[in-house]
């Protein structure tokens, strides 16, 4: 794809509207962006043209998380069944260890661990076992930046170059155009995953930032979507410059401590210092081999630096669902969770994406999907030996997180299984587990499906918080 470094009048107008929309959302609870984008945008290019036309405050507002018209969970939603499915996944070490949290209506229905932390030195995974979050960390980056915006320390349309004067791109004018919102929505203008291979080869983050001056650009900042890890982490430098706090300190003080995420940390030192943590695993022969986590992506703290337990992540879901307004106010959540740029390529990939997603976009550290006609706020993460998924269905006030310590893709089917049951969609076998599991609970009468307990074998329940 040829680089387009010019800014036609239409593009400038769209960018101006976006800046206005972001500023308005921060200050007003009525100015939101609709979940709508051009579904015909090309998906074959290295980057995706930014197709969303930002709405004016009067256009189809997206409700604030606290104001969403709540619908009950569909009949047949039974947490015990999902817990049994999770337990089946760790049976015979199909995956070494896993943790899952389900929250609904401001309550933690389940936050438990399954399986073991390390095939070489087995300890049971419990609710306070720490996992590496990989790209689930991006939601923390967007949130802590938004807190600084709410405080007036910076703006969504603040120029990154104002905080990093030495920042330079191949397009001499690009650094002066790049905004904080562009960074958090992956609209830097670079091709997908710029310099990720260098990070994997143990390159230094600051040296790679200097090399942006020679990196090929696909468009001007704000004009196309290209998923980033190195460039996304520029927001850490912005947070430091705007707050005077190192990024890890800002996240700890502003998010972890106020929300009671007591097991959470950042960096390699953070996870290895945890009282109990899950080792990453890769396939070896017919089984699994545990490793020490690599430090590489930990160098990109905003993109991939957070560690947390499933107990922590249950609190994160509650806060992102609007249940902790004293820490994360509703207007901020609406801003973070509104689509800014279309990402139609997300509709491809795993079978549940192909069959359930009608549209996809990216906000500020969150993905926003149309899941069979229902708004879904989502992010996934993967780094060697760790995988994770988290999602929220605002209309059902439901949140789900699944974390596991292996390269297996098998547990990913838990998420669409739970979402389908919550919405009441026709049954689909997304997950390779014992088909007789559900029959274990079919005859139980009088139980409360959404709050029933699950089997305790190999699992540890979370302490209420």
pLDDT tens digits, 387-417: 999 999 999 999 999 999 999 999 999 999 9
What digits encode the pLDDT tens for the residues 329-378?
999 999 999 999 999 999 988 899 999 999 999 999 999 999 999 999 99
* Token reading at 412: 């990913």
Query: What DSSP line would sit under 340-354, residue for residue?
Result: -EE-GGGGSSSHHHH
Q: CA-to-CA distance for 271 and 257, rounded, in angstroms?
A: 17
Tell me if 390 sits within 8 A of 313, measured CB to CB.
Answer: yes
- Per-domain residue ranges of the chain: 79-137+264-461
pTM: 0.85
Q: CA-to-CA distance for 313 and 291, rounded, in angstroms?
A: 24
Inform me whether the pLDDT recorded for 133 exceeds 90: yes
449 vs 242, higher pLDDT: 242
Residue 188: beta bridge partners?
A: none
Averaged pLDDT for residues 304-327: 98
- CB count within 10 Å of CB 269 equals 12
Residues 425-463: b if buried by 16+ CB within 10 A, e if exposed: beeeebbebeeebbeebeeeeeeebbebebbeebbbbbe
User: What mean pLDDT is reported for the chain?
Assistant: 85
Inform me whether the pLDDT recorded for 20 exceeds 50: no
pLDDT confidence band for 9 (50 / 70 / 90):
very low
Residue 104: beta bridge partners?
A: 107, 398
Tell me if 444 sits within 8 A of 453, measured CB to CB.
Answer: no
Q: Please report the sign of the dihedral spanned by the C-alpha atoms of residue 181, residue 331, residue 30, residue 378.
A: positive
Q: Please report the sign of the dihedral spanned by the C-alpha atoms of residue 328, residue 330, residue 332, residue 333.
A: positive
Tell me if 82 sits within 8 A of 414, measured CB to CB.
Answer: yes
- pLDDT for the residue 148: 98
Query: What DSSP line would sit under 170-181, residue for residue?
Result: SSTTHHHH-BHH
* Token reading at 300: 């990109």
**CATH node for 79-137+264-461:** 3.40.710.10
Averaged pLDDT for residues 180-194: 98
Most distant CA pair in the chain: distance in Å? 68
Tell me if 458 sits within 8 A of 90, measured CB to CB.
Answer: yes
Inform me whether the pLDDT recorded for 21 exceeds 90: no
């Amino acid at each position: 794809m040829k680089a387009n470094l010019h800014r036609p009048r239409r593009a400038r107008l769209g960018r101006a509207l976006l800046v206005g929309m972001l500023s308005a959302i921060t200050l007003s609870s009525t100015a939101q962006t609709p979940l709508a984008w051009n579904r015909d945008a090309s998906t074959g290019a290295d980057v995706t043209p930014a197709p969303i036309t930002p709405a004016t405050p009067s256009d189809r507002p997206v409700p604030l998380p606290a104001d969403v018209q709540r619908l009950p969970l569909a009949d047949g939603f039974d947490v015990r069944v999902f817990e049994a499915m999770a337990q089946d996944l760790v049976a015979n070490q199909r995956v070494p260890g896993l943790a899952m949290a389900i929250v609904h209506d401001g309550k933690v229905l389940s936050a438990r661990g399954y399986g073991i932390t390390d095939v070489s030195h087995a300890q049971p995974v419990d609710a306070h076992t720490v996992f590496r979050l990989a790209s689930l960390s991006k939601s923390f980056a967007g949130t802590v930046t938004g807190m600084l915006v709410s405080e007036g320390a910076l703006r969504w349309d603040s120029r990154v170059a104002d905080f990093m004067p030495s920042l330079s791109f191949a397009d001499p004018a690009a650094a002066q155009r790049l905004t904080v919102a562009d960074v958090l929505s992956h609209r830097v203008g670079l091709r997908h995953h710029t310099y990720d291979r260098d990070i994997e080869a143990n390159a230094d983050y600051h040296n790679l930032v200097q090399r942006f001056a020679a990196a090929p650009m696909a468009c001007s900042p704000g004009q196309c979507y290209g998923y980033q890890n190195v460039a996304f982490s520029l927001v850490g430098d912005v947070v430091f410059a705007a707050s005077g706090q190192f990024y890890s300190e800002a996240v700890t003080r502003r998010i972890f401590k106020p929300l009671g995420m007591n097991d959470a940390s950042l960096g390699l030192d953070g996870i290895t210092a945890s009282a109990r943590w899950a080792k990453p695993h890769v396939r070896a022969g017919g089984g699994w081999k545990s490793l020490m986590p690599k430090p590489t992506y930990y160098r990109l703290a905003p993109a991939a630096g957070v560690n947390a337990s499933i107990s922590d992540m249950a609190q994160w879901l509650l806060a992102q669902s609007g249940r902790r307004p004293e820490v994360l106010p509703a207007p901020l959540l609406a801003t973070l969770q509104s689509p800014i740029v279309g990402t139609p390529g997300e509709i491809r990939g795993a079978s549940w994406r192909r069959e359930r997603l009608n549209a996809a976009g990216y906000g500020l550290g969150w993905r926003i999907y149309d899941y069979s006609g229902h708004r879904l706020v989502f992010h996934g993460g993967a780094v060697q030996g760790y995988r994770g998924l988290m999602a929220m269905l605002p209309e059902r006030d439901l949140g789900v997180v699944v974390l596991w310590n292996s390269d297996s893709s098998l547990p990913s089917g838990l998420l669409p299984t739970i979402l389908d049951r919550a919405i009441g969609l026709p049954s689909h076998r997304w997950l390779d587990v014992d088909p007789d599991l559900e029959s274990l609970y079919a005859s139980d009468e009088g139980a409360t499906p959404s709050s029933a307990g699950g089997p305790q074998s190999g699992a540890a329940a979370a302490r209420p918080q």
